[in-house]
Amino acid sequence: MFDIGATELLLIVVVAILVIGPKDMPLAMRTAGRWIGKIRKLSGHFRTGLDAMVREAELEDMEKKWKAQNEKVMREHPDGAPAQGDGEMEHTGAYPPAKAAEMKRLAQEKSAANEAAANEAAATNTAGAESATSRVAAKDTPAKSEEPPEKDAG
C-alpha cells in the first residue's frame, strides 16, 4: 500500500526521536499503535461491508438469470412435459450428458455392490451363528484322544 523503504523508515524514526524525545517515545508509540489498530478495524468493517454488497449484487444477478431461464422453459413447455422429438430435456449444464450417464451407472454399480456386501454379511452371520452353535456343542462333549494320557513317574 505505502511504498516506504528502509531509509525512509530510518529517517522517520530519527525525526520522531528528535521531535518527541526519548522520554516520551514509548507513550507516542503506544498511542500510534492504538490509532493504527482502530484504522485497521475500521477498514476491516468497511471491506466486510463491501464484500457483502458485492455478494448480494451477484446473487440478485443470478436470481434474475434463473428467473429468465425458468420463464423460458415454462414458455417452451407449458405442461411440464419434455420437448417433442427425442423425448429428452435440454441440457442444463449440471453435468454433460455422457458424464451424467456415467454417474448414474456408477451409482447403480455402487448400490449393487452394497447390496451384495449386505447379503454376504447376512450369510456370514448365519453361518457364524451355526458354527458357534457347533463349537458350543463340541465343547460340551469331551474329545477322544487316540494316545493314552501320560503317567507321572513321580
Per-residue pLDDT of the chain (154 residues; tens, 9 = 90+): 567 788 988 898 888 888 888 888 889 889 999 999 999 999 999 999 999 999 999 999 999 999 999 988 888 887 766 555 555 556 566 666 777 788 889 999 999 999 998 888 888 877 655 555 555 555 555 555 555 556 655 4
What's the one-letter identity of residue 5? G
Our count of domains for the chain comes to: 2
72 & 99 share domain: no
Residue recorded with cell 490509532? 35
73 & 109 share domain: no
Residue 49 located in a structural domain? yes
Residue 90 located in a structural domain? no
Residue 16 located in a structural domain? no
Structural domain of residue 125, as residue ranges? Answer: 95-137
72 & 38 share domain: yes
The candidate with the shortest Cα–Cα distance to 95, out of 107, 87, 103, 105, is 103
Collapsed DSSP state (helix, strand, coil) of residue 17: helix
